[in-house]
Structure 1
Amino acid sequence: MNVPLAVVLLLCCVFYAHACAETYTVRAGDNCWQIATNHGLSLQQFQDINPGLNCNNLQIGVVVCVRGGGPSPPSPPSPPSPGGKISYSQFLNAVTSCGYGAPGKDKYDAFINNYASKGGITSNRELAMFLTHILHESGGLQFKEEIRCKDSKCPSEYRSAGDPGDKFYYGRGYIQLTWSANYKAASQYLFGDANKLFYDPDAVARSEELSWNTAFYYWKFNVHNDPGVQNGQFGSSTNRVNGGLECNPCRAACPGRFEMYKKVMRAFGIQENPNPAGC
């Protein structure tokens, strides 16, 4: 049964009512970064007091918390220990075992140096989930720009009021960042300056590190805090990344993602049964 997001979040708010001192109802044109800023919060603080909120699909009418208070809600289950740093050889094996070409060392360096600090990823199992989706979304780390928009820039799409006429906010990065509000939010998180990527969205595709780091930003604020993800349910991560097209039930690219995940887990040396639940 599909439960509307607004109902889910309302139930969450009832459960955690003692931990929220002030709420706000999402209106047309709102985004997480804007709501957080208007209420004196950082994006991280806003996400922390709204666990499970998908900032990439913020729906009008959803009630969100804008000021915490009272005792903190229970902590989610602790993830398994990291199990050691993934080597370049393991990374290489993970990519090639999924049928893609061998990645350069620069891709590994950007991946391994930032997954914890930028993505909040705390276990090799979650890291395997992340890499699986990155490989699927980017054609094996080949594409950093939305293919259909790369040449034309899709000038009539992804437009918002106030966007500069010579800037275009089509998909860029390994999990494609779209719309100016999301470029601003990612920029604020990564640089402490919302305008850096707003005025230079092309930087995401130019820079290997930014292609990874915007993906880590997306993961941290839209996937990482999902209880199913932390409990090892790969389908929960698929639901967060592309659930509208692939979940309830698992269909389209969903089964292929899971098969790829099993290969990445083996390459990473993770000794547990992969769990497809959550989609």
Structure 2
Amino acid sequence: MSKLAAARTAHQTATNRFGATQITWLIISMVGMLPLAALAALALIVLVVIILLSGSQMTSYSPDPDSTLGPGAGGSVLTELAGGDGRGGFKESGVPDADLVAPIRAAARECDLLTPVILAAQIEYASDFDADKEGQEGRKGLSQLTPDVFERYGQDDDDSGKASALDPEDSIHAHARWFCDLAEETQRMLDEKTVVGDHLTLTLMAWDQGTEAVKAQGGMPVIVLDSYPFQVRGLFARYEIGGTDMSTASPTPTPSGSPGAGANKRAVTDPEGTLLSARTFDTMFPGRNSFYTYAGLSDAMATFPDFAGTGDEATRKRELAAFLANVDHESGGLVHVEEIDRAAWGTYCDGGQPYGCPAGRSAYHGRGPIQLSWNTNYKAAGDALGLDLLGNPDLVATDPAVAWRTALWFWMTQSGAGTTTPHAAITGGGGFGETIRSINGALECGGGNAAQVRARVDAYRRFTAALGVDPGDEGTLTC
């Protein structure tokens, strides 16, 4: 029996077990507890339940194996009704303490199901981001973990010398480990066809009630408005900006240099930094716009682990310096998020492309660290990163991680005006000059603008010095 057929059988069995009478009484019992504003949502749920029980086409299972919304159109409706799946881009500004952004992003990589959006929403629900909160049953910290849970999953993640539920970073990582263990358990139940429901709902349900309760109830064949999964999902919008957040997805085999290539290898820069510390980053860009976060750069580097992760240590440092030097030049020292020449904004739409310029002819101007421009580049970068940048190019100017990822996408995969990617230019011995050629060689190289080339080289020398490595063969520094 195929997985789709088995899933359909399990769903039908559980729906029969959780009969219409039980669901009707469940809904009736909820009405008295709801404010008037919620009755419209309840009516919609009743409609969906009726359709599910009547065997309508809405419950047929989608043949699309790449669907992330769970089985079938019915599952999609319920997922969207509940607040989505939490896989949109992470809106860092939603987190009230900026120091928590990097730990949340890092911890969310613990397993495929968890995302920064889900983690942030759970933390808000648990403590409203109060790291000192102490609750019932000995619960402490951001995630309000009980002592036995923290004893099992807590570690000294902030290197303070002691694991403590009141340390924000320790709490966040312990939260992620527990969540991912629950995700394994609920996935096993789904595989064994003992429960129904989408994976995220079941895992949130297990977080709130325990795995045995999930198994005893046969999962969650309908969404209950006052349930923990529904309430947490209702918070997703605070931390989500649209698109798909790929930073926590498991890699599939991809060519070297593509997003996810070599992702089983530890990224050379994590939030603590082995090649580039936060302090060095701040020193390199003393006047940077607060939009360009170190956490966003770290997140992007985890998406492209071959970046500054290829060759010996000197090569890795040179590539990091070369990238940051070109970024420094393109963005005015990480000051400009969008192209400052607004008069040129309408010149980056190639109307001859079949997909056109759906966001408007003036929507594809330079944005981000490397000033991504043209509808063709927004389309290509979005396709590679799993984001709708063609339809929503402003993501590059509103999400720091997306901005950094587009810059690394170009660096790792595009040759531009040159004959090789900037990544290959450094790791293959072409030198810093070839990175200039790839990025803006048509205007600057071969005597086109010697002053601009010198400015890039000067920045490269500064950054290699900051990283403690020589710049390489002098003859390869210019183009």
Q: TM-score range by the shorter chain?
A: 0.5 to 0.7
Query: In the alignment, which of 390, 393, 403 is matched to residue 201 of structure 1?
Result: 393
Relative to structure 1, is the Cα distance of residues 170 and 103 closer, same or farther in structure 2, using a 3 angstrom cutoff?
Answer: closer
Relative to structure 1, is the Cα distance of residues 103 and 181 closer, same or farther in structure 2, using a 3 angstrom cutoff?
Answer: closer
Contact preservation (8 Å) 1:125, 1:232: no
1:243 matched to 2:243: no
Q: What does 1:11-90 align with in structure 2 at a 5 Å threshold?
A: 45=255, 84-90=274-280
Which whole-Å CA distance do the structure 1 matches of 2:373 and 2:338 have between them?
10
Aligned residue in 2 for 1:164: 358
Number of aligned positions between the proteins: 196
Which whole-Å CA distance do the structure 2 matches of 1:199 and 1:90 have between them?
36
Contact preservation (8 Å) 1:234, 1:276: no
Aligned residue in 1 for 2:456: 257
Which whole-Å CA distance do the structure 1 matches of 2:288 and 2:337 have between them?
16
1:54-92 CA deviation, whole Å, 9 max, x = no partner?
xxxxxxxxxxxxxxxxxxxxxxxxxxx999331111112
Relative to structure 1, is the Cα distance of residues 247 and 166 closer, same or farther in structure 2, using a 3 angstrom cutoff?
Answer: closer
Aligned residue in 1 for 2:113: none
AA of the residue aligned to 1:218 = F
Relative to structure 1, is the Cα distance of residues 266 and 45 closer, same or farther in structure 2, using a 3 angstrom cutoff?
Answer: closer
Contact preservation (8 Å) 1:92, 1:103: no
1:132-166 CA deviation, whole Å, 9 max, x = no partner?
110110011111211122xx683464242432264
Aligned residue in 1 for 2:220: none
Relative to structure 1, is the Cα distance of residues 271 and 235 closer, same or farther in structure 2, using a 3 angstrom cutoff?
Answer: closer
Relative to structure 1, is the Cα distance of residues 258 and 137 closer, same or farther in structure 2, using a 3 angstrom cutoff?
Answer: same
Relative to structure 1, is the Cα distance of residues 202 and 276 closer, same or farther in structure 2, using a 3 angstrom cutoff?
Answer: farther
Q: Which has the higher strand share?
A: 1
1:143 matched to 2:339: no
Which whole-Å CA distance do the structure 2 matches of 1:270 and 1:208 have between them?
28
Which whole-Å CA distance do the structure 2 matches of 1:199 and 1:141 have between them?
25
Which whole-Å CA distance do the structure 2 matches of 1:265 and 1:115 have between them?
18
1:95-144 CA deviation, whole Å, 9 max, x = no partner?
24xxxx15659611111332253373121210110001101100111112
Which whole-Å CA distance do the structure 2 matches of 1:182 and 1:105 have between them?
22
1:212 matched to 2:398: no
Which whole-Å CA distance do the structure 2 matches of 1:47 and 1:124 have between them?
17
Contact preservation (8 Å) 1:174, 1:215: yes
Which whole-Å CA distance do the structure 1 matches of 2:337 and 2:276 have between them?
23
Relative to structure 1, is the Cα distance of residues 275 and 105 closer, same or farther in structure 2, using a 3 angstrom cutoff?
Answer: farther
Q: What TM-score, normalized to structure 1?
A: 0.60
- Return 5+ residue gaps in structure 2 as ranges: 1-251, 259-267, 310-315, 415-420
Aligned residue in 2 for 1:110: 296
Aligned residue in 2 for 1:22: none
Q: What does 1:81-100 align with in structure 2 at a 5 Å threshold?
A: 84-96=274-286
Greater relative CO (CA pairs within 8 A, separation 6+): 1
Q: Secondary structure at the match of 1:231?
A: coil
- Return 5+ residue gaps in structure 1 as ranges: 1-41, 49-80
Q: Pick the structure with greater CA Rg.
A: 2
Which whole-Å CA distance do the structure 1 matches of 2:373 and 2:366 have between them?
5
Which whole-Å CA distance do the structure 2 matches of 1:105 and 1:169 have between them?
19
* Identity over aligned pairs, percent: 31
| Superposition CA RMSD, Å | 3.2
1:29-66 CA deviation, whole Å, 9 max, x = no partner?
xxxxxxxxxxxxx9x65989xxxxxxxxxxxxxxxxxx
Contact preservation (8 Å) 2:357, 2:375: yes
Relative to structure 1, is the Cα distance of residues 171 and 248 closer, same or farther in structure 2, using a 3 angstrom cutoff?
Answer: same
Q: What TM-score, normalized to structure 2?
A: 0.37
Q: Secondary structure at the match of 2:285?
A: helix
Contact preservation (8 Å) 1:129, 1:261: yes
Bigger mean CA offset, 202-211 vs 117-126:
117-126
Relative to structure 1, is the Cα distance of residues 116 and 169 closer, same or farther in structure 2, using a 3 angstrom cutoff?
Answer: same
Bigger mean CA offset, 238-247 vs 167-176:
167-176
Relative to structure 1, is the Cα distance of residues 276 and 90 closer, same or farther in structure 2, using a 3 angstrom cutoff?
Answer: farther
Shift of 1:252: 2.7
Q: Secondary structure at the match of 1:240?
A: helix
Q: Secondary structure at the match of 2:341?
A: helix
Which whole-Å CA distance do the structure 1 matches of 2:299 and 2:330 have between them?
21
